[in-house]
A = this chain, B = another copy of it.
Amino acid sequence: MDQAARKPRTRIQIEKRELILEAALEIFAQHGFRGATIDQIADAAGMSKPNLLYYFKSKDDIHRTLIQRLLDTWLAPLREIDDIGDPVTELRSYIRRKLEMARDYPRESRLFANEILQGAPRVLPMLEGELKSLVDEKVQVIRGWMRAGRIARTDPYHLIFAIWATTQHYADFDVQVRAVLGPARDGEGRFEDAARFLEQLFVEGLRVKG
């Protein structure tokens, strides 16, 4: 009777909501919010449209739930950056974690990319609040490393942007990457090659001179 608005109770509700979110992630990631239809999601989840709307009260509700859930795991790698460890090791494993996420959660990456491309109508407050705070905090850590002469001096914000861009590229632009590399280099070795390249690029690019 509560329409599953706040807290799902029965086991069926928990399972079905999960099923719907899984299907919706697939559809939203591929077609964007407006491009996706409730019927498509219901089909992919193996249920009728009214049945789906019994578990989520609107299309927007599903999307919002997905975005919210995504953000928790999305920022985890950045949170893990620690100013106690070795700077190069810290950055290297941050890059590796981000690349692993692009490999293991490409749909989440594309969902997020779609949202940002459309002007971030649903997550702008989070970007300006939580995300900015977290980045500002890690920028201070990186600045500390630079002041200590442990990595080359550069703009920490743009360093973070570059890591985001290069790693997420393999999820968001997967089709293009595949097309350019061609069938010969289409195996899973792609990610190992990418990891090796990015590691070299950032480690050498941040090496202290002289």
* CA gap between A38 and B159 in the complex, in Å: 40
Q: Is A196 an interface residue (CB 8 A)?
A: yes
**Is A146 on the interface with B (CB-CB < 8 A)?**
no
CB of A140 closer than 8 Å to a CB of B? no
Q: What residues on B are CB-neighbors of A162 within 8 Å?
A: 166, 169, 197-198, 201
- The CA-CA distance from A175 to B160 in the complex, in Å, is 15
Contact A120-B207, Cβ < 8 Å, known A113-B113, A158-B198, A198-B158: no
Q: Are A155 and B193 in contact (CB under 8 A)?
A: yes
- The verdict on A105 contacting chain B, using a C-beta distance below 8 Å, is no
Number of copies: 2
Report if A197-B154 is in contact (Cβ < 8 Å); known contacts: A32-B32, A117-B117, A204-B204.
yes
Secondary structure call for the A interface: helix
A132 on interface, CB distance cutoff 8 Å:
yes
State how many angstroms separate the Cβ of A53 from the closest Cβ of chain B: 21
Q: Is the CB of A1 closer than 8 A to any CB of chain B?
A: no
**Smallest CB–CB gap between A80 and chain B, Å?**
18
Chain B nearest CB, measured from A193 CB (Å) = 5
**Do B132 and A180 have beta carbons less than 8 Å apart?**
yes
Chain B nearest CB: distance from A188 CB in Å? 15
- Are B116 and A173 neighbours in the complex by a CB distance under 8 Å? yes
Q: How far is the CA of A87 from the CA of B21 in the complex (A)?
A: 49
The residues of A with any CB-CB pair to B shorter than 8 Å are 30-35, 110, 113-114, 116-120, 124, 127-128, 131-132, 135, 152, 154-155, 157-162, 164-166, 168-170, 172-173, 175-177, 179-182, 185, 193-194, 196-198, 200-202, 204-207, 209
What residue of chain B has the Cβ atom nearest to residue A179's Cβ?
A: B127
**Considering the chains assembled together, what is the distance between the CA atoms of A118 and B31 in angstroms?**
6
Cβ–Cβ contact B175 & A120, under 8 A: yes
